[in-house]
Amino acid sequence: MFNSELKYLKPFCLTAFLLAGSPGALAQDETASRPLFDRLGGLMPISVVVDDFFDAVVSDDQIKANPAVDASRKVVPAPYLKYQVTAMVCEVTGGPCSYHGRDMKAAHAHLNITEAQWDRMIVLFKEVLAKHEVPETETAELLDIVGSTRADIVTAP
């Protein structure tokens, strides 16, 4: 759950805890079986994180130094990219959205993304997730999902 939602949900969670009694292994299994989309809080918090992440990547000097990335940002509108990435994250985390964009290999082939730029993007992603207080388990799951795209995105040494 993200920090902006916690102030509204703390009384609910406390009440649920008191009514349910001590949460045993069954409660932990139920939480673990919930889709990542639900554990992240749904579409609204996902879209906020994507928006902040995109802004961090766009303004990063190391990533902007790649001329292909910089040129691409001047052609493709930021709101469109944010929408596409939000839909993709929603879908891959088990949410109700459908991503209709290009696959990661086709979308990034012309950008000549390097290992160093990928690593920088991961640092920025972790910083944004920490800023929004995304729990450790969900952060690890998101990093696994993002990591699974590395081979399709990193095309330059």
Annotated binding site for heme: 108
Answer yes or no: are the C-beta atoms of 40 and 134 closer than 8 Å.
Answer: yes
Q: How buried is 131 (Cβ within 10 angstroms: 0-12 exposed, 13-18 middle, 19+ buried)?
A: middle
Residues in the chain: 157
| CA dihedral for 112, 114, 117, 119, sign (positive or negative) | positive
Please state the residue numbers annotated as binding site: 108
